[in-house]
Amino acid sequence: MSSQESASSPSTSSSPVSPASASSTAAQETAPTRVAVVTGGSRGIGRETVRRLAADGFAVVVGYAGNREAAEQAVEQVTAAGGRAVAVRADVADEEQASALFDVAEAEFGGVDVVVNAAGRMHLASVVDTDLAELDAMHRTNIRGGFVIAQQAARRIREGGAFIAFSTSVVGLAFPGYGAYTASKGAVEALTLILARELRGRNVTANAVAPGPTATELFLDGKDEETIARLASQPPLERLGTPQDIAEVVAFLASPAGHWVNGQVVRANGGII
């Protein structure tokens, strides 16, 4: 008997599909794809978040500022694993480019369910020595950019969705040299907590994730081995965090299981504070 005949012929050993099973299968097939927009998605925590959300079944829009090659690699990593993703260049502080980023999500995948604003800029110096041009550039990305993305998220996220911003545990640690950077992230925390309350009635959550020292290019840049070792020894878990550690927290907040967490700053730092 050919394989085609076997597939179409009745068999006494096959079990009939119950109406309930058929209904469940149909529901899964017709359920809309959940869609995530991840800014800063070409490297570090943002890139790992792209991979992690795609593994959970999200179609992902990878927002990036300038490294097209890295963004395309992030997309290829998702598609190679059977997922769906597209890369879009956008300056998060430019409202027109940010709006276009969300337009792509809606046009390509049908809507927006989760927004992760992982785009950020960090410049370290004492308050006395901080170059005000660096201050302005950092605050443009972290504060204005954070606000623009939050604004688009509030306008676009569908019911049941989530907005996830990024702060830093240094807001609590108060490390010298982080004054300007931490000031910008304190603004992100305040904005996110207020947004959670303004989204009342939408069934949409807003939280900020505040990593501790995490082994990313952004964090490691400019630090000597002694400094890195000292920072790694400070948490009770005695290591630096990894992008995977942080992406797991983001994935939880983006999932139905994490939906009761709302209006919070989640410090993911191994217990350093």
Catalytic residues, by residue number, are 181
CA distance 261 to 258: 6
Q: How far apart are CA 208 and CA 168, in angstroms?
A: 9
DSSP 8-state code for residue 260: T
63-81 burial: b if 16+ Cβ within 10 Å, else e: bbbeeeebbbbbbebbeee
3-state secondary structure of 199: coil
- Write 218-223 long-range contacts (CB < 8 A, 24+): 218/44, 218/120, 218/122, 219/122, 222/124
Tokens matching residue 88? 């879009």
Give CA–CA dist 232/228, Å, rounded. Answer: 6
Cβ partners under 8 Å of residue 77, min gap 6: 50, 51
